[in-house]
Structure 1
Amino acid sequence: MSTQTEPLRLACDTHTHTIFSRHAYSTIEENVRTAAERGIELLGSTDHFSDMLYLQRDIRNYQYYNNYRVWPREWHGVKLLHGAEADIVNLHGDLYGADDVFATSIDGTPVEPISMQDYVFRRCDYVVASVHNKWFARNATIGQATDMYVCALEHPKVLTLGHSGRSGIRYDIDTVLEAARVNHKLIEINEYSFTHVEKSHEMCLEILERCAETNTPIAVNTDSHISAEIGDFRYVPKLLEEMHFPRELIATRSADAFLDALRAAHIAPAEECEPIPGL
């Protein structure tokens, strides 16, 4: 039985990227093998769903997501979840791909019209919602930015608000954390934000402190873009221990805890994919 005196161990990494993201460098199996070697119980693969990938919003460019069904749910002893990191694209909190509607499949066969977002999300177990191109929010008020993040958290497929401390957009933290609690969603504490982006430290720490004070659940992830970084938590666990962060609020402390968080958020399971063991 775990006690607070034992070293904190994070057994999940639920925001990671494969070579599909184009500025990442490893295959899904390379990521899974590294996760297994490092004792990670559950890996979530969340490639970018964003304008960062392709100039043309063509459904064929995103068929990668449509074939998630072929991924083993248990691979090299690691539970494997399908996801996407979807860009928040405006101050309304809308996510990428909602307005792009297609009426043909990847081979040109006529199908019922479907948005590119629905086409991708229906195969996902969950979505991480993040801001990357913050140009649209350059003149946003704190209130507008707050509403943006609240709306993103209310999307039925979103489980995690990704690296909001690194995006450089100021918002009312307590209001967003309240929305996360009400909707049973997670606030991400991103290892990359601490180890690679020094200018984001102050805001990330403020978010983390308020999560502890308001009992808001978090997901600690590497945001790895190469297999060598999968499960490589060098900074955040030490920080959590130093501040005596409540372990029961860390959804990525174990596979069971993360699946409990997914269940609590009432997110519809991925269509036509094998059920998630334990969910």
Structure 2
Amino acid sequence: MLFEADLHTHTIASGHAYSTVKEMAAAAEKRGLKMIAITDHGLKMPGGPHEYYFGNLAALPRKIGGVEILRGVEANIIDTEGHLDLPERLLEELDIVLAGFHALTGFDGRSVEEYTRAVLAAIANPRVHLIVHPGNPEFPVDIEKLVLAAASEHKALEINNNSFSVSRQGSLPRCQLLAKLAQRHKVQVALNSDAHIFTSVGNFTRAWQVARSAGISEDQVMNKTVDRVKEYLGWHRRHREAVQEGRV
């Protein structure tokens, strides 16, 4: 199955990834993608980028070869109130904001209740577009509450291809549950590579197997086409502006 967009990729700016933006874009084009999001880690990730990096993302071209480039972040959820480790003024400038939990960012060893409270607060944040690798057993959340919150907030949830390889061991059963509940409640999903090197860009094979086994249709996959991604991001931008102006 061909997907046109990969919305979760990392470059050397993340500190533990190994390819440049140019290399990631070239690999994406070779694989047949039409869009990638550059979503390097937030400020609290060990070895991650400085605040200046995100402030200067405007330097990225909007297109490299035949691939559109989204300027983004994989921000860290850092407390039970769902706060992220990037200032609002920088979040405002980004095309796409992913949010998730990561070790060694100051929010380790909490309870299911605390992680659930944190992720529900993050999903309600109008700046956040996508909750990433929510099936990670290291940061256990109440999957059903998360899916219901995503339905209420019209947010997508990620099925992360990297969670079925060397990262986040034990994620498969929780991702399968998430996929089944997403299918039941008609919540959009994004199938992403979480590529940390150019050879992984656009690899959604395992993620699609999990989604398909749960009965998720192509219509529920938010990154199936570039147009669908733009429609999703545009809706959330307009909704956020309406909230700010008191129109909703």
TM-score, with normalisation over the residues of structure 1?
0.79
Partner of 2:133: helix, strand, or coil? coil
CA distance in structure 1 between the partners assigned to 2:80 and 2:194 by the alignment:
24
CA distance in structure 2 between the partners assigned to 1:224 and 1:32 by the alignment:
12
Partner of 1:252: helix, strand, or coil? coil
Correspondence for 1:239: 210
Correspondence for 1:156: 126
Correspondence for 1:30: 23
Out of 210, 218, 234, the residue aligned to residue 181 of structure 2 is: 210
Give how far 1:162 is off: 0.8
Matched, 1:70 2:41: no
Correspondence for 2:243: none
Correspondence for 2:32: 39
CA contact (8 A) 2:179 2:214 kept: no
CA distance in structure 1 between the partners assigned to 2:214 and 2:150 by the alignment:
22
Distance 1:160 1:145, change over 3 A: same
Deviations 1:113-172 (A, max 9, x none): xxxx134313311210010027735242x3332221110012221100010112523322
Correspondence for 1:114: none
User: Higher mean Cα deviation, 249-258 or 172-181?
Assistant: 172-181
Matched, 1:252 2:241: no
Deviations 1:173-229 (A, max 9, x none): 222112212222110100000123441111111111111111110111010101111
CA distance in structure 1 between the partners assigned to 2:89 and 2:201 by the alignment:
27
CA distance in structure 1 between the partners assigned to 2:100 and 2:110 by the alignment:
18
Letter in 1 for 2:220: L
Correspondence for 1:219: 190
Deviations 1:65-99 (A, max 9, x none): 122222221221111100001100112211114xx
Structure 1: unaligned runs, 5 residues or longer: 1-7, 98-116, 270-279
CA distance in structure 2 between the partners assigned to 1:250 and 1:20 by the alignment:
28
Give how far 1:267 is off: 6.4
Letter in 1 for 2:203: D
Correspondence for 2:139: 169
Matched, 1:138 2:109: yes
Partner of 1:47: helix, strand, or coil? coil
Give how far 1:64 is off: 1.6
Letter in 1 for 2:25: V
The runs of at least 4 consecutive aligned structure 1 residues that moved more than 4 Å come to: none
CA contact (8 A) 1:156 1:267 kept: no
Letter in 1 for 2:3: L
Matched, 1:84 2:73: yes
Select the structure that is richer in strand.
1
**Count of residues paired in the alignment:** 238
Letter in 2 for 1:51: K
Q: Of the two, which has the highest radius of gyration? A: 1
CA distance in structure 2 between the partners assigned to 1:47 and 1:137 by the alignment:
20
CA distance in structure 2 between the partners assigned to 1:217 and 1:238 by the alignment:
16
Partner of 1:208: helix, strand, or coil? helix
Matched, 1:94 2:83: yes
CA distance in structure 2 between the partners assigned to 1:268 and 1:216 by the alignment:
18
Partner of 1:35: helix, strand, or coil? helix
RMSD: 2.2
